[in-house]
Chains A and B, each alone.
Chain A
């Protein structure tokens, strides 16, 4: 190869590898951007009058008089809508019989859409489910519902070689010439007056319980469940992990036993998380009967096994980083090895151990597979501390899965899903940030 080709090759290697790093950063950005942007939508959004009425009636929050005044005002703005509906229903009986069935079907869809948009019409008996008692609480959702009223969805299968195409047909044309025709422009023009959107910062998304399976309210039970599971796992794993690290770094003589133990630790680290879940079910619940069925305790125990290797490895690194002179000084003063560990070694290694603990906390908080069979349920109330011994709990990771795939109205609660993902991601990233800061302080101290 001539020199030019060699140089070209060299430069292209530089280019390719720098591009790989850039791609990695890009992947992270692509991953986080929508989660952050749409996740913030769970906290900052334009809340409608229905949101304020809901908060007053369900959570006893807000000024009753102001809400009552607002309810009267929006009811006045909505009045013509119901008048037009009533007028059209009278008219429908006199219409041409050939048009009637199609119009009746469309009318039913419009009425259903209006209930979802504005809540039940005045004078109707309150429905059982909360989502039927209130209209849209968020302005962005209300706009979506409005589109559903203004346009009917049709599928175009005229081209057999392709999949069906979605076509939006304005309903106004279907009702042309009837008394309902003016309803559509009226809705479009006056939706703001009917719902009065105002920007809010709904920080209580973190602190409210959810109502009507996450159609309303926040994610407090999930957050609490995740906190319980994580703390429980740490409580069980930290003693064993740190002791194991102390033994491996200070007391163990190199030999068969120790290398066996090390192989076991790395094996444990490599076991797939779903296998941990099955093991937790088979051992903690079906064999040991820690609890009758799923419980926070069983989930914590399973998670503890999962993070044990991480804690052991991090703690061992931290212990090994303590200068030999510390230990030798303590021993030469006549301290027993155990005393040296407790009074000199562990305090000196504490920040490093803490870093490992915090990182594994993040891991425990985010794991889903081990808690599916051992601890997680999709709907539940916030638990009291003693109930964690016997009761299952909702948890952030599991409920993200559940709401995104198994919920009956996946598209209606996207904001809740994104809010949950953002909360979980922020929780994990904050824990990691704390670990990074502690580590930076250690390396500064070591240098100083």
Chain B
């Protein structure tokens, strides 16, 4: 090969490589542009109104004279709805991930995968439509009894299990010949207390009247289901990544499957599960359509603050809902306050993302180091 041709070839290789790099840098550019352009339109609001009004006041009257932009209730709404979604999604998601990684046989696992994929693929507006048109009326008409049934379904099995364990542990030091009898008597007494409590709770819940089906509870449940696929798939990956040797070592020491999972696998996969939860939370915070359609959109702090049956308003729904009126008044505080809210949302999601990234990467390094 001649000298000139090889130089030409090296030049072409260099050029093509830098072109590839430039195209790859697109995502970097996009992230920077998003931050810059959201911040650029948010700053005028902070200049005009300062930080205090947005975060410290709960008076949200953007079209009043003078307009008030206290977004405290909106932050509370977002937090409440997200917390509700976490309560629904995390136990369910982690349990399902355990089933998928350790318990179900291969065939069944393959059958469940599409369920997760479909749940993840369904458009958010379809979830929102379900929440608004089907779930909200149901909640409004039969909310109390639905809650009572749900409480029974969740608390009865968990309570019975707890009773068996507690009664076993409490009677361990009793004389062996009377221990079984003592254990069953204790269990029966505890079960009676549990049933009494459940009956009271059930009738209390059943007597609740749900004033409006579009409320924080509705949105929490639907958001929880939406966040499930993320949590399940990331948690399952990290459970799988804990490895076969770990499990076999634990089994060889005589541990049951549950003990292996809780004492050996979960500690090893813990950071991955935390990352899964963070990603699920982000999905819930950033979701717009479900909360816009079914949260009731009332900018008020619920009374008392944990009252999930009251309508709430979230950051995303406020941005989506108010921009329709605000973009006619381009450049006003009303327009800029929405960018300020978006900036808060962006900061939250950036922090959460970096956090989960850091956790996953640290784990990777640790696992890599162990090898």
Contacts and interface: CB of A to CB of B under 8 A. Distances in A.
B332 interface: no
Given A270-B282, A271-B349, A366 B33 contact: no
Interface string B255-267: 0111101000000
B229 to A, nearest CB: 9
Contacts of A309: 27
A178 interface: no
A195 interface: no
B27 A336 contact: no
A32 B114 CA distance: 14
A17 B95 contact: yes
B26 A367 contact: no
**How many of chain A's residues touch chain B, expressed as a range?**
35 or more
Interface string B178-207: 000000000000000000000000000000
A5 B164 contact: yes
Given A278-B342, A429-B118, A436-B117, A21 B104 contact: yes
Contact of B121 (A13, A268, A359): A359
A300 to B, nearest CB: 14
Nearest to A399: B125
A126 interface: no
Interface stretch (B50-58, B60-68, B298-306, B315-323): B315-323
B345 A425 contact: no
Chief secondary structure at chain A's binding surface: helix
B286 A34 contact: no
A10 B257 contact: yes
Contact of A367 (B96, B115, B124): B124
B367 interface: no
A69 interface: no
Nearest to A250: B20
A429 B121 CA distance: 7
A308 interface: yes
Given A34-B134, A287-B37, A428-B122, A9 B95 contact: no
A273 B95 contact: no
A239 B225 CA distance: 34
Contact of B96 (A4, A7, A24, A251): A24
B129 interface: yes
Contacts of B92: 20, 23-24
Nearest to B360: A266
Contacts of A273: 124, 286, 288
A401 B288 CA distance: 11
Contact of A428 (B121, B127, B134): B121
Interface in B303-348: 316, 319-320, 323-324, 327, 330, 338-339, 342, 345-346
A366 B20 contact: no
Interface in A368-407: 368-369, 372-373, 397-398, 400-401, 404-405
Given A367-B124, A405-B293, A414-B133, A263 B354 contact: yes
Contact of B357 (A163, A266, A400): A266
Given A9-B165, A243-B20, A432-B117, A268 B27 contact: yes
B259 A248 contact: no
Nearest to B323: A373
A260 B23 CA distance: 15
A267 B353 contact: yes
Contacts of A404: 129, 132-133, 293
Nearest to B261: A13
A6 B91 CA distance: 21
B172 interface: yes
B126 A35 contact: yes
B364 interface: no
Nearest to B112: A21
B20 to A, nearest CB: 4
Given A272-B345, A275-B34, A279-B34, A366 B118 contact: no
B316 A272 contact: yes
Contacts of B123: 365-368, 397, 424-425, 428
B190 to A, nearest CB: 15
B13 interface: yes
Interface string A1-34: 1101111111011111111110111011001101
Given A13-B257, A336-B13, A400-B129, A278 B323 contact: yes
A283 interface: yes
A442 to B, nearest CB: 16
The 10 closest A-B pairs by CB, nearest first: A366-B123, A272-B286, A20-B95, A17-B99, A270-B353, A243-B23, A10-B256, A247-B20, A244-B24, A369-B288
11 contacts: A21-B95, A24-B119, A25-B112, A25-B115, A28-B118, A243-B24, A247-B24, A268-B31, A270-B350, A275-B349, A278-B342
Interface of A: 1-2, 4-10, 12-21, 23-25, 27-28, 31-32, 34-35, 162-163, 239-240, 243-244, 246-248, 251-252, 260-261, 263-279, 281-283, 286-287, 305, 308-309, 312, 336-338, 359, 362-363, 365-369, 372-373, 397-398, 400-401, 404-405, 414, 417, 421, 424-425, 428-429, 432, 436
Given A35-B130, A336-B9, 4 more contacts: A20-B95, A31-B130, A260-B28, A279-B34
